[in-house]
Amino acid sequence: MNLNIQKLREKYLKKELNVEEVLSSIKEKIEQTKDYNIWIYTLSDEQLSPYLENLKNKNIEELPLYGIPFAIKDNIDLKDIPTTAACKEYKYTPKKSAFVVQSLIDAGAIPVGKTNLDQFATGLVGTRSDYGECKNSINPEYISGGSSSGSAVSVALEMASFSLGTDTAGSGRVPAAFNNLIGVKASKGVVSTSGVVPACRSLDCVTIFTKSLTEAKTVFEIANKYDEEDIYSRVYIPTNKKSKENFTFAIPKKEQLEFFGDEEAKKLYFEAAKKFESLGGKAVEIDFAPFIESANLLYSGPWVTERFIAIKDVITKNEEVVNPTVRTIIKSGEKIDAVNYFESEYTLKKNRKYVDKVLKKFEFILTPTTGTIYKIAEVNADPIKLNTNLGYYTNFMNLLDLSALALPAGFRKNSLPFGVTIVGDKFDEELLFEYSSKYLGK
């Protein structure tokens, strides 16, 4: 069944389909794909009943997401449904839904369930979970990407029209690239993180996965709502920038690009840049070193201490319940001092000044979303190094307060997808949507 938001709405309006039929089709697919380890929890008919009841006697035209099924990463709260963050011992049952989840439900969306993730949202691979390794939607030997693994695969395999993920280091973009999806990583604070298990609370973003740009924009327009209870919430005020017929965009210097031996990914990246040039753009190389320096701070600097703070009670009382790789990463944040914090902060301020100059000169920056993709077995053999490789183009984003859209950019010969990311300043989402629309031809 095609779960495209616009197509479902048309069928609901014409009474060619009802929500119960859609959910029934999804449940069949969930059963058929159990060995992909996509879901941690799916709602029963009884648990879905209040959401269906809520739609009765409602005007479809007044609810932009009427009857639209969505998936929720299991570090985001859904009322009366367990939140685990992929750690069985951490499990709790929230009394209310996360702010963004409730906003989507109020718009008519139906939660299907909670999806698998790298434990405590620490990882870009999708293999670090008490609930099994999430498999790639196209080739199950390969990683799904993470940490928002199940969220991406649930959309790719048509068990949800859209899904919510989170993104601290790239978790809302890497799984999009690996499963041929759109990934929306908006500016920090414009989508509320109330009711989200923190990774790095000062950097975390709630993200959106969809199959099409139109759907991504539809969901983003509902999700970007100011939340008084979220101390990091910001009012979304789009910049007045508009896309141009003739424009320049930045790409990293050739010697600073990393594809980790993946020649097909390299070829597809330059093809994406050429496509933007065919649309009136001009690619100009920039020094990418400040971005790389900033990216390296995410795990070597003080922000890993935020990960320690987020699960301090669990990791200090019973560290064995935490995935070994996750534990190694998070425990490194226990003893970082104020000297490290301020030195890192000064580095970021310096690099942000550089980014300001770049974004004044260019319409956007175009990077690969990742340089390559790995098999699950490869990641298991070298979990930290290969994960680090995947964050080369993603780890700097929230540290430098940027917005981004991850876009599909073709396929390798083995049918695995490649993706690029179009990067703008904070609050540049509308501009990025416009240029992405040109690129995708939609």
pLDDT tens per residue, range 312-326: 999 999 999 999 999
Residue 294 has pLDDT above 90, yes or no: yes
Task: Decide if pLDDT at 424 tops 80.
Answer: yes
**Nearest CA among 183, 180, 232, 182 for reference residue 207:** 183
Of 365, 362, 351, the closest CA to residue 400 belongs to: 351
Any domain includes 246: no
73 is annotated as an active-site residue:
yes
Lowest mean pLDDT among 116-125, 139-148, 168-177, 314-323: 314-323
Overall pTM > 0.95: yes
Query: Helix 213-223 and helix 5-13: axis angle, to 10°?
Result: 80
Of 159, 137, 170, which is closest to residue 367 (Cα–Cα)? 170
Evaluate whether residue 47 is within a structural domain: yes
Confidence (pLDDT) at 335 = 87
Contact between residue 327 and residue 315 where contact means Cβ atoms under 8 Å apart: yes
Q: Does residue 442 have a pLDDT over 80?
A: no
Closest CA to 118 of 71, 69, 192, 168: 168
Phi then psi dihedrals of residue 98, to 5 deg: -55, 150
**Where does residue 158 rank: exposed (0-12), middle (13-18), buried (19+ CB within 10 A)?**
middle
Any domain includes 379: no
Q: Which residue has the tokens 């209040």?
A: 50
Taken in order 179, 184, 189, 190, the sign of the CA dihedral is negative
Specify the pLDDT at position 236: 96
- Say whether pLDDT at 420 is over 90: yes
Question: How many domains would you assign to the chain?
Answer: 1
Is-catalytic flag, 171? yes
386 located within any domain: no
Does residue 335 fall inside a structural domain? Answer: no
Radius of gyration of the chain measured on its C-alpha atoms: 20
| Residue 239: both structure tokens together | 């910049």
Selecting among 144, 161, 171, 294, the annotated active-site residue is 171
The dihedral of CA 321, 325, 330, 333: what is its sign?
positive
pLDDT tens digits, one per residue of 363-386: 999 999 999 999 999 999 999 999
Residue 115 domain-assigned (yes or no) = yes
168 neighbors 397 (Cβ within 8 angstroms): no
Containing domain of residue 183, as a range? 5-223
* Residue 364 included in any domain: no
* Domain-embedded: residue 12: yes
CA 221 remoteness from chain centre? 16
Catalytic choice (129, 137, 144, 147): 147
Amino acid of residue 291: F
CATH at residue 26: 3.90.1300.10
pLDDT(97) > 90? yes
CA–CA distance, 432 with 422 (Å, rounded to integer): 7
Task: Indicate if 147 belongs to the active site.
Answer: yes
Taking residues 269-280, report their average pLDDT: 98
Whether the per-residue pLDDT at 357 is higher than 70: the answer is yes
